[in-house]
Amino acid sequence: MLNDKSVPGVNKDAGKRSLSGMRPTGALHIGHYFGAIKNWLTMQDELKSFFFVADWHALTSEYENAANIHEFIPEMVKDWLAAGLDPERAVIFQQSKIKETAELHLILSMITPVSWLERCPTYKEQLQQLSAKDLGTYGFLGYPVLMTADIIMYRPQWVPVGQDQLPHLEIAREIARRFNNFYGDFFPEPEARLTPQPKCPGLDGRKMSKSYNNGILLSESMDSIALKIREMLTDTARLRRKDPGNPVNCNLFPYHELLTDETTQAEIREGCLSAGMGCVDCKAILLRGLKDFLEPMRERRALFDARPDFVRDVLENGNKKARAEAQKTMEGVRELIGF
Ligand code: TRP
């Protein structure tokens, strides 16, 4: 069977499949929406899509706080569903429930040169940046190998991710190629589908991040959001209402670019530059935009908050579908390797 190109034909529809995952690190903010989920929603419409909770990946750096990971899982899935991921159309599942992934990860680890992992830029960066944690572990080095197993298990061509994941995708392609060279042409080489680079900075202009508390959560109340918008700094050179301002120097404007229609955006820009519009009015428009954007999510969330088992059922169903796919892949893999 070795190097037989006519393997089970499990990857014929790769071009019609997409897969992506997210580590469960807490409630999602609008940066996650514009940076990832929006793209996932397009994938869900166009392709057979798999979206999963990367809880094993969270463990690579959070192994000392494993209990938190568990708590964040339903919270994150609720955010996904509220944002519009549809369990009827996409397979929504939990990485650690598909044990076949561990087997594939093991096999891939046999053929992955350590040098590929050591020179991965995200590995080197994280080791430095997260120096408070001991990331000198075998598992953390193998992060891209596990990610490769996640991806190629479902044989998708498309992997919607942000720019930061490109080095991992490159390793995934190389590992898939190496497997195919050794054992037969089996895995499609996955390709990144980049999220159009969205500018969604934090409310204070820094990167939106939970640790800076400078974001807007998808599940946040309008009262709390209103307070945050009121406190946002606009163009700090614009001291009085009658002074002209410049949207380029205002923390608000990137949000208008994401949430406000283009005609209104042009009016705001003009109003700011000419001092025809004040910051209070500009903030009121943004707040309305946020309300319209978050309202449908709030309504959906209320629906499944009324059904306590909903998220659990979604994951159980998704896990079953994902497992069936994974078993099919692993039958092919074992046969190719001769086990
Ligand atoms: N590494 C990804 C991130 O941090 C999460 C992830 C794990 C992933 N496995 C994946 C993304 C497979 C896409 C495909 O965002």
State the amino acid at position 198 in one-letter form.
P
State the amino acid at position 23 in one-letter form.
R
C-beta of 55 in contact with ligand 1 (< 6 A) = no
C-beta of 21 in contact with ligand 1 (< 6 A) = yes
Domains parsed from the chain with CATH numbers = 4-200+308-337 (3.40.50.620), 222-301 (1.10.240.10)
Lowest mean per-residue pLDDT among 29-33, 192-196, 321-325: 192-196
pTM higher than 0.75, yes or no? yes
Specify burial of residue 115 (Cβ count, 10 A radius: 0-12, 13-18, 19+): exposed
CB 148 within 8 A of CB 100: no
Rounded distance from Cα 333 to ligand 1 centre (Å): 22
Question: Residues 117-139: what's their mean pLDDT?
Answer: 90
> Between residues 134 and 191, which one has the greater pLDDT?
191
pLDDT digits (tens, 9 = 90+) for 75-115: 999 999 999 999 999 999 999 999 999 999 999 999 999 99
Rounded distance from Cα 230 to ligand 1 centre (Å): 35
pLDDT reading at 3 higher than 50:
no
pLDDT of residue 51: 98
C-beta of 83 in contact with ligand 1 (< 6 A) = no
pLDDT digits (tens, 9 = 90+) for 269-321: 999 999 999 999 999 999 999 999 999 999 999 998 899 899 999 999 999 99
User: What distance lies between CA 84 and its chain's CA centroid?
Assistant: 14
C-beta of 39 in contact with ligand 1 (< 6 A) = no
* Residue whose pair of structure tokens reads 């050794």 in the numeric block: 182
pLDDT reading at 199 higher than 80:
no
Percent of the chain with pLDDT over 70: 96
- Closest protein CA for atom 13 of ligand 1: 20
pLDDT of residue 87: 97
pLDDT digits (tens, 9 = 90+) for 29-72: 999 999 999 999 999 999 999 999 999 999 999 999 899 999 99
CB 309 within 8 A of CB 78: no
